[in-house]
Amino acid sequence: MSDAYRQTWDLSIKHPEAFWSQAARAIDWISPPDTTYDPDRGWFAGGTLNTTWNAVDRHVANGRGKDCALIYDSPVTDSVERWTYAGLQDEVGRVAAMLEVRGVRRGDRVVIYMPMIPQTVFAMLACARLGAIHSVVFGGFAAHELAKRIDDATPRVLLTASCGVEGSRTIAYKPLVDEALASARHEVESVLVLQRPQVAAELSAPRDHDWAALREETAHLPVPPCAEMAASDPLYILYTSGTTGTPKGVVRENGGHAVNLAWSMPAIYDIGPGDVFWAASDVGWVVGHSYIVYAPLLAGATTVLFEGKPVGTPDAGTFWRVIQRHKVKTFFTAPTAIRAIRKEDPDASFLQEIGTGNLKVIFLAGERADPETISWAEEHTCLPVIDHWWQTELGAPAIATCFGLGDTRRRRGSAGFPVPGNAFAILGEDGQPVPDGQSGAVVMREPLAPCAYRTLWNNPVGYAKNFTSFPGFYETGDAGHFDAEGFLHIMGRTDDIINVAGHRLSTGQMEQIVATVDGVAECAVIGADDALKGQIPIAFVIPRAGASDLKSLAPRVIAEVRSELGAVAALKTAFVVPQLPKTRSGKILRNVLRKIMNGEDFPPPPTIEDPGALHAIRSVAFPKAAA
């Protein structure tokens, strides 16, 4: 047992205000907080700060301007670029000036729909500098999804690039942006387009502006100062999947975010000033927000921005090359990435050849890391591989082995221990704690740690729902259990959210789309186990009586989901079936569908209306097995 972990956790739970007040000293405040926690005002009320000052400017002011802040490594464009803290400060300042000229002011929203390039990082930090609220939308989402977010966030400006580069493919972003803006009800004032050499985007004046031209036009302007932001002022909105098609806009606040992330870097990831940290994610997700952009910079470390894939760019050695080349000390990725590498290179030949350089530890998150994946990674890297758990709503890890506190305890299949500042309980259907070993709803005692959300954008009612089922607790939406040694195991969702390659997706949203396809009478979309991606969505469709062209129904369903949601949806399989398994009242028995697709036994539940439905579905999904 790590004494440091136990003492730290105990202090954080018994004396949370003292604990976080101490942690807050790692942040530069313009005005210090007058209280650490207030139930109405939140964390660090009365305190004012600027997140970009803390992430960038203060390091320059403290004499570390020449130290490396950001490394951009892009095997897909064959480029590696580095920015010092001083260089990053300049770039962020330029983008801030550009945004200010386009009318962006404190509190304005700025939607960022950009690939993994340095300008995306500059843009996020520039918004934070001005006190504007950025909302980064993952590039894998289709125009319709971008339009929804535009309508909810009502940005003044949208930032984009001419294209993303995925392996040998380029994906033009501007047509998607144009389509989204055409269908959105909200009118954006300006669109700033960074032209990449691979694709030239068409600009429509007066709305669209060339990024490079605007940068040049504003180069003479002074850098806007860092805005003085209240601790509770929003830093960003990040949309995450809800159980139906309406995305939830998680609002992150400046103060709690800065303090919590700054604390997490040394305590969890063992990262301090000058260390190199690499989170192989996308800035469109919370891991990218927290651990590509903000946390490493708040800690004065060097962060790696990687534009590529674990395999195919160019091969399964990519990750190890990046780690070796940049002397990465701590690496954070998703289990699906390790599985992809293992599939391409099961004997870890690339790893043997390239090595792991300065790497001390690998963290995994985004989905439960299956024991086999951890085992393979530990065996071949000879490093601790630590699964951990958190959510977009929380903004920072809530369950982990705090490697930075000297704790190395791990149990394959478990996410570790509650991180200091986070108190968990496992509750049964009656709202009472269940014994160790028994599964129940995973809940967290209020108040949540400082980085956690305190509202959803435009949806305080939706936010409050997560706190009503079990008074005094936040309902995570996951099921799990504590074991006898205190390891917390997260076993799966208690709703219909699935995790595909570390990406959180809503099967309900996919169903809404499938139900609109011509010829569909009824449908269900479930998440089935997948060896590579963890889970994949699978659609079951009952055709409308008299519908023609049944052969095209499944492909049309798949195409429609991709068109509406984007490639991120990853719906590649749809079955046309005669019936769905239902209870006598007509409720679809989704778990039975999962069992069929996962190859498990599927004894008919006693409540099923027609047990024959199960074999009818299995014979469609697995015709050879049924024969």
Interaction site with other proteins (CB under 8 A): 243-245, 428-430, 439, 441, 465, 468-469, 479, 491-496, 507-509, 511-512, 515-516, 521-524, 542, 583-592, 605-607, 609
Q: Which is nearer to other proteins, 206 or 586 (CB)?
A: 586
Residues 286, 395: contact at Cβ < 8 Å? yes
How far apart are CB 608 and other proteins at their closest, in Å?
9
Residues 380, 351: contact at Cβ < 8 Å? yes
How far apart are CB 145 and other proteins at their closest, in Å?
16
Residues 330, 363: contact at Cβ < 8 Å? yes
Identify the bridge partners of residue 302 per DSSP, sorted by sequence position: 276
Q: Which is nearer to other proteins, 562 or 590 (CB)?
A: 590
Q: Which is nearer to other proteins, 406 or 605 (CB)?
A: 605
Q: Which is nearer to other proteins, 194 or 498 (CB)?
A: 498
In the chain the first and final C-alpha atoms are separated, in Å, by 55
Q: Which two tokens stand for residue 564?
A: 């509406």
How far apart are CB 615 and other proteins at their closest, in Å?
17
Tell me, what amino acid is at 283? Answer: V
* CB contact set of 35 (below 8 Å; sequence gap of 6+): 41, 44, 45, 46
Tokens 């313009």, located at residue: 30
* CB contact set of 349 (below 8 Å; sequence gap of 6+): none
Q: State whether residue 478 is helix, strand or coil.
A: strand
How far apart are CB 542 and other proteins at their closest, in Å?
7
How far apart are CB 156 and other proteins at their closest, in Å?
30
Residues 163, 176: contact at Cβ < 8 Å? no
Residues 540, 581: contact at Cβ < 8 Å? no
Q: Which is nearer to other proteins, 71 or 443 (CB)?
A: 443
How far apart are CB 613 and other proteins at their closest, in Å?
13
How far apart are CB 506 and other proteins at their closest, in Å?
8
Q: Which is nearer to other proteins, 254 or 509 (CB)?
A: 509
How far apart are CB 496 and other proteins at their closest, in Å?
6
Q: How many CB atoms lie within 10 A of CB 495?
A: 13
Q: Which two tokens stand for residue 538?
A: 């699978």
Tokens 């205000």, located at residue: 17
Q: Which is nearer to other proteins, 174 or 493 (CB)?
A: 493
How far apart are CB 475 and other proteins at their closest, in Å?
8
Residues 218, 97: contact at Cβ < 8 Å? yes
Residues 513, 561: contact at Cβ < 8 Å? yes
Q: Which is nearer to other proteins, 166 or 564 (CB)?
A: 564
Question: For residue 602, what are the CA distances in angstroms to 335, 429, 596, 606, 611?
Answer: 28, 24, 6, 12, 10
Q: Which is nearer to other proteins, 168 or 585 (CB)?
A: 585
